[in-house]
Amino acid sequence: MLPRSAYIDSPDVVARRLLGKLLVRSTESATLIARIVETEAYLGTDDPAAHAFAGRTARTEVLFGAPGHAYVYTIYGIYACLNVSCEPEGHAGCVLIRALEPIAGLPEMTANRGLAAGARPAALTAGPGRLCRALDITRAEFNGIDLTDASSTLQARDDGFAVRDRDLAITGRIGVNKASERPLRFALMGHPCVSKGKFHKL
């Protein structure tokens, strides 16, 4: 289990730290496991691209709370996106989970995505909307849950997977209109589940 202390740092630090860690989603019938391979940092009230930029509202309340909690929101009316709150309580930084590598429970993820059996694993969880569908993460059920709680049906764990510095890639944010030039998107270089783009070596 990743302890709460792992989330207390600034979003860019936590975004790098989360690469290579596991997301564990427990359902009634299966345990779905996937490794985090792409993240994006949002810097809170100082970041024009962040939801928290507009201030503390009912919607962004989770972001201002204790670190290590899930912030799930709906985008374009259809898709859910999963973030993890970081920084000390009262500060609104967060990290968006952009892509995962499926490790266990691939049949369930494939079914959740509505894909045919045998679909490419890289297609299951590459993209923030896709990975929420694959892991059955909804705003109604998961917004505000504690990822460090052993009883949570969504947890973050460290299985000892080592990420070398030379495997880290960094680039500007995508899908964002404001402050997109900031180098706040992190990924494992060359990983098949990471969308292609102009990543630089860190």
- Of 76 and 164, CB closest to DNA: 76
In angstroms, the CA 34 to CA 15 distance is: 16
- Distance in Å, CB of 33 to DNA, minimum: 19
Amino acid in position 64: F
- Distance in Å, CB of 142 to DNA, minimum: 13
In angstroms, the CA 106 to CA 117 distance is: 9
How is 89-141 classified by DSSP, letter by letter? Answer: TT---EEEEEEEEEEE-HHHHHHHHTPPTT--HHHHSBSHHHHHHHTT--HHH
Interacting residues with DNA (CB under 7 A)? 40, 42, 49-52, 54, 57-60, 71, 73-79, 81, 83, 94, 96, 113, 127-131, 133, 139, 173-178
**Structure token digits, residue 99:** 């892509």
- Distance in Å, CB of 168 to DNA, minimum: 20
**Structure token digits, residue 170:** 């960094």
- Distance in Å, CB of 165 to DNA, minimum: 25
**Structure token digits, residue 92:** 């609104």
- Of 4 and 139, CB closest to DNA: 139
Amino acid in position 68: G
- Distance in Å, CB of 129 to DNA, minimum: 3
- Of 69 and 173, CB closest to DNA: 173
- Of 32 and 94, CB closest to DNA: 94
Q: Which of 145, 135, 33, 119 is nearest to 80 (CA)?
A: 135
- Of 140 and 162, CB closest to DNA: 140
